């Protein structure tokens, strides 16, 4: 595939193609890409080629930021030179697979720099994400001293143990993450670092940890979730000292409606990402009221790992994901009618979580053609969008992907009423 020559852009409205420079001034559009790659030399070459190919495809459709979700319960995927055990232990969850197993491996800092440079040449920013204080089984398997002291504490096993968290009262954890963040900040030129903050199972950890409860009483907090203020207060101090801007997933005081407030007091310099299905309108209102910048990633529209059609389910590890069709993604209005304003909305995020994705062909199959619909939803005002027009214009884009050998899901359901010429 040619990197830029002859690439096909998505028209914002009939008859008009938008210039690259104009796009760069309008929105920031994120694609979260969290593949786990193998590390032997032959597969290393393929890994790097696949990531760069994905970036090339992003550029074609005006995606200009790639967010790499580098740490989670399933593995630690970035080399930290001060703590080599993070990848020696934390990057391997399949004991039988060795360094060639599809569930094992990590990016060296040299590999990441290569990706960062390649993306920068194409005006794509790479943002790292290190998810804390939950989604931390991989790091806690390496540093069990950072765990909460719960009555039911069990051995942490990467890829199997979930619902564990860093202890809010343990200074060791903050010191280790200061070192980690220092290396990450030096490696990534992006002004932003994403710190997760989602799905913290507080009731199973901080609520049951005697040290956390003592800290809660000392600080005068009413709820254990208030400890998030203390936890991120310390983490964000480090991030600011490193001259970086923090991003967090937006969590509210309930997992679904009814909810009426943030989970904790997000500082105004934190950009929040709305992601929970059904809660985005409230996140939109709260961020507008509090002054937090907002990135739109509602699960019902923008989660590209969800099945695209009835029966088109992941081959394995399917947890009952809801269906998000191509047309549903196209219906997405990032401003939600503009009821709570638009000025604080920084952009749109499409997420592609890889628990149920084994190879690169499946990555592009899940990302496209919904990635086309999401790009147009992000860049085009609702009054300039029509589903019929999009269906007509999708054909040459799909033909180009076929010529380039890109795997994608053929949207048979829309071709029953429209035939590509």
Which residues are marked as active site?
A: 72, 135, 199
- 143-173 burial code (b ≥16 CB/10 A, e <16): beebbbebeeeeebebbeeeebbbbbbbeeb
Distance CA 272, CA 266 (A): 9
Residue (of 162, 163, 158, 155) closest to 95 by Cα position? 158
- 122-142 burial code (b ≥16 CB/10 A, e <16): bebbbbbbbbbbbbbbbbbbb
Query: Are 59 and 3 a contacting pair, CB within 8 Å?
Result: yes
Length in residues, the chain: 421
Structure tokens given for 364 = 């592009």
Distance CA 107, CA 117 (A): 15
Query: Are 197 and 130 a contacting pair, CB within 8 Å?
Result: no
Structure tokens given for 21 = 């420079």
409 SS3 class: coil
- 323-355 burial code (b ≥16 CB/10 A, e <16): ebbbebbbebebebeeebeeebbbbbbbbbbbb
Distance CA 220, CA 391 (A): 57
Distance CA 193, CA 403 (A): 36
């Amino acid at each position: 595939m040619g990197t830029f020559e002859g690439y096909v852009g998505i028209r914002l409205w009939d008859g008009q193609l938008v210039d690259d420079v104009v796009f760069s001034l309008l929105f920031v559009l994120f694609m979260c890409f969290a593949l786990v790659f193998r590390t032997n030399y032959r597969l290393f070459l393929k890994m790097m080629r696949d990531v760069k190919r994905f970036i090339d495809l992003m550029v074609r459709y005006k995606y200009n930021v790639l967010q790499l979700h580098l740490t989670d319960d399933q593995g630690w995927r970035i080399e930290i030179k001060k703590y080599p055990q993070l990848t020696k232990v934390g990057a391997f969850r399949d004991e039988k697979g060795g360094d060639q197993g599809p569930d094992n491996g990590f990016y060296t800092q040299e590999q990441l720099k290569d990706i960062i440079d390649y993306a920068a040449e194409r005006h794509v920013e790479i943002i790292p994400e290190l998810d804390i204080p939950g989604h931390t089984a991989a790091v806690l398997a390496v540093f069990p001293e950072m765990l909460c002291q719960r009555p039911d504490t069990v051995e942490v096993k990467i890829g199997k143990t979930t619902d564990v968290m860093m202890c809010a009262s343990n200074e060791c954890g903050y010191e280790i993450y200061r070192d980690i963040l220092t290396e990450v900040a030096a490696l990534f030129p992006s002004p932003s670092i994403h710190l997760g903050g989602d799905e913290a199972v507080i009731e199973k950890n901080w609520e049951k940890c005697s040290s956390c409860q003592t800290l809660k009483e000392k600080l005068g907090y009413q709820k254990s979730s208030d400890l998030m203020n203390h936890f991120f207060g310390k983490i964000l101090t480090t991030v600011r000292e490193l001259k970086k801007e923090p991003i967090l997933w937006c969590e509210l005081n309930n997992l679904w409606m009814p909810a009426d407030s943030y989970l904790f007091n997000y500082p105004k310099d934190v950009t929040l990402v709305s992601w929970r299905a059904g809660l985005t309108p409230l996140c939109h209102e709260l961020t507008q009221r509090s002054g937090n910048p907002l990135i739109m990633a509602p699960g019902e529209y923008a989660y590209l790992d969800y099945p695209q059609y009835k029966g088109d389910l992941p081959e394995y590890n399917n947890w009952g994901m809801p269906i998000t069709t191509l047309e549903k993604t196209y219906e997405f209005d990032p401003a939600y009618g503009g009821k709570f304003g638009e000025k604080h909305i920084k952009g749109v995020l499409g997420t592609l979580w890889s628990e149920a994705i084994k190879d690169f062909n499946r990555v592009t199959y899940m990302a496209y053609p919904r990635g086309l619909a999401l790009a147009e939803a992000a860049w085009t005002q609702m009054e300039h969008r029509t589903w019929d027009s999009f269906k007509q214009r999708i054909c040459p884009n799909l033909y180009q992907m076929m010529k380039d050998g890109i795997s994608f899901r053929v949207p048979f359901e829309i071709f029953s009423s429209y035939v590509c010429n």
